[in-house]
Amino acid sequence: MIRDDLAAAVREALSALGVDPLPERVDLERPGRREHGDWSSNVALATAKKAGRNPRELAAQLVEHLSAAPPAHVLKVDLAGPGFVNFHLAPTWLHDILTEVVEAGPDGYAKPDLGQGRSVNVEFVSANPTGPVHAGHARGAAHGDSVARLLTRTGHAVTREFYINDRGVQMQKFGQSLAARKAGEEPPEGGYLGEYVTEWAQELPDDVDPVVWGEERALQDQREALGAFGVHFDEWFSELTLVDSGAIETTLAELLERGVAYEQDGATWLRSTDHGDDKDRVLVKSDGEYTYLLPDIAYHRDKFSRAEQLINVWGADHHGYIVRMKAAMASLGLDADALEIEIVQMVDLLKDGEPMKLSKRAGTVVELRDIVDEVGADAARLTYLLQSIDSRQTVDLAEVASQGMDNPVYYVQMAHARIHGITRRADEAGFPRGPLADADLSLLTHERELDVLRALSELPDVVRLATEDRAPHKVTTWVRDLAGAFHGFYHDCYVVGDGVSPELTQARLWLAESARIGLSIGLDLLGVSAPETM
């Protein structure tokens, strides 16, 4: 890795210059501006004070020392600004990137082993089994799945898990609603009013428990809709199994035994204030019923027995429960820091610029299935992964459905399809791509060509950062960058045709192939397909 080589050279130079103490890390960054070189180090600024040196002087000495015996690919080292040391590299370093990308391939390039096999359970969606998956789950579904993809790529043993809340009053209401509709009656107070209840009720057999049947019906529907969205779970975990196995009672007993739960006013409470909560929380109501919290604690306790690290993807309306759930884990002696809860902010759906009024009560929900049918899974997923989950998102379905330039998914997929177009054309023209070893990559000197390779050189960092930050949108941003670089190359650099030598054609075919690999890695991490034709 070029960066490691440069960092080592800087470290060696610091040592030779008698800098003491030596910094723990020497970071190499990519400057924002081209004239600042290909790589830059701020080490002089960062260490000058501790070492009792003047930053600019130290930087000047570093430049002098490094220039005397420049590392591989380095053309020039210079001093800039308040004390930056900038490296200007020959294009050969980018040709090495091309080779690296092609040799590693889609399954090997940009695959840092961050997890080293660490088991991670990613729980997301977890919609109630009382109806279809709706638009409110879609952003979390896209996010959770993409995080799982990132973790898988970076060496984690990932389980995608869906928690089924199939115990409690809402299930009873749902079953009653189905039965009522089947009998041609209105659902009971607090029941489910959506149209799907009436439709499903037509399928309800006479001799079954509507609750049991209804759950299966809902899960089947959810599985299908999520599958069409490209999201598949490894584990569908039923809350009822916690009742059957006695895990809920066991958990309650353990909490009492540890003295972190107590009885008062006829109820059982969790002493969550010991761990930062602003009040203690009820686990068992005075009527003997569990609150939602106790089964949830038992569930997370179970997950901790199956994975080293837990990630929950929750909607913004649940952020208030983070503290109590972590408090519960800490109360059980589990590592609350290994439970990571990600909050996905709300999505405002628009249709042609008009807000869509959604009401679960009135049954006017937009189903995930509707979105996929209307705009396609690819466009929907890329749209949800366009920006940070920390900020509220506005999605106009009409815009997402459009196949115009305002839609990033087509821009990116087009780049991928174009590469296949080039390959096809090269084959037809009698210039099939030969072995990489025979290609003269030093012919790749056009700025457009180098821009593509620069983008590819950044992918390993992007994958690492996106994984560490659980931020798939960083991948989206990068994929758009690479696609932009490729479109520029495509426009200015013909691969096959008059005036292009066979040698240059070969080099450019390999450049296109490296871009194809990069695009397919990025799109795969987002769960978006990489089509060969549009």
Partner RNA sequence: GCGCUUGUAGCUCAAUUGGAGAGAGCAUCUGACUACGGAUCAGAAGGUUGGGGGUUCGAGUCCCUCCAAGCGCGCCA
Please report, as residue ranges, which positions from 133 to 162 form the binding site for RNA (by CB under 7 A): none
**Residue 183 identity:** A
**Residue 479 identity:** V
377-384 vs 408-428: helix crossing angle, rounded to 10: 120
Q: Which positions from 486 through 525 interact with RNA, judged by CB under 7 A?
A: 487-488, 490-500
Pick the stretch among 164-172, 198-206, 215-223, 514-522 that binds RNA (CB under 7 A): 164-172
Q: Output the smallest distance, CB 206 to RNA, in A.
A: 28
Q: Which of 62, 334, 422, 515 binds RNA (CB under 7 A)?
A: 422
Q: Output the smallest distance, CB 485 to RNA, in A.
A: 8
Q: Which positions from 448 through 487 interact with RNA, judged by CB under 7 A?
A: 461, 465, 468-469, 471, 473-474, 477, 480, 484, 487
DSSP assignment of 333-375, as one string?
T--GGGEEEEEEPPEEEEETTEEPP-BTTTTBPPBHHHHHHHH
- From residue 199 to residue 228, the character string flagging contacts with RNA as x (rule: CB under 7 A) and all else as - is ------------------------------
Measured from the CB atom, the residue of 174 and 233 that comes closer to RNA is 174
The pairing of strands 267-270 and 281-284 is antiparallel
- From residue 224 to residue 253, the character string flagging contacts with RNA as x (rule: CB under 7 A) and all else as - is ------------------------------
Name the DSSP letter for residue 491. H
Alpha-carbon distance of 161 to 300, in angstroms, equals: 12
Q: Output the smallest distance, CB 83 to RNA, in A.
A: 7
Q: Which positions from 69 through 108 interact with RNA, judged by CB under 7 A?
A: 80-84, 86
CB-based contacts of 17, cutoff 8 Å, min separation 6:
58, 61, 62, 65
Q: Output the smallest distance, CB 205 to RNA, in A.
A: 26
With residue 123 as reference, give the H or E element that holds it. Answer: strand 119-123
Measured from the CB atom, the residue of 1 and 534 that comes closer to RNA is 534
- Based on the shown chain and the rule CB under 7 A, indicate whether residue 297 belongs to the binding site for RNA: no
- Based on the shown chain and the rule CB under 7 A, indicate whether residue 390 belongs to the binding site for RNA: yes
Report in angstroms the alpha-carbon separations of 165 from 245, 285, 293, 301: 16, 19, 12, 16
Q: How many residues bind RNA (CB under 7 A)?
A: 98
Q: Which of 50, 232, 360, 425 binds RNA (CB under 7 A)?
A: 425
Q: Which of 169, 183, 207, 437 binds RNA (CB under 7 A)?
A: 169
Q: Are 228 and 132 in contact (CB under 8 A)?
A: no
Q: Which positions from 342 through 361 interact with RNA, judged by CB under 7 A?
A: 343, 345-346
Alpha-carbon distance of 298 to 246, in angstroms, equals: 10
Q: Output the smallest distance, CB 202 to RNA, in A.
A: 26
CA angle 33, 34, 39 (to 5 degrees): 90
Structure tokens at 403: 């196949």
Q: Which of 319, 335, 355, 503 binds RNA (CB under 7 A)?
A: 319
Q: Which positions from 21 through 80 interact with RNA, judged by CB under 7 A?
A: 27, 29-33, 35-37, 40, 42, 45-46, 49, 55, 80
**Residue 478 identity:** W
Pick the stretch among 201-209, 228-236, 282-290, 372-380 that binds RNA (CB under 7 A): 282-290
Helices and strands, number each (H, E), in the chain: 19, 15
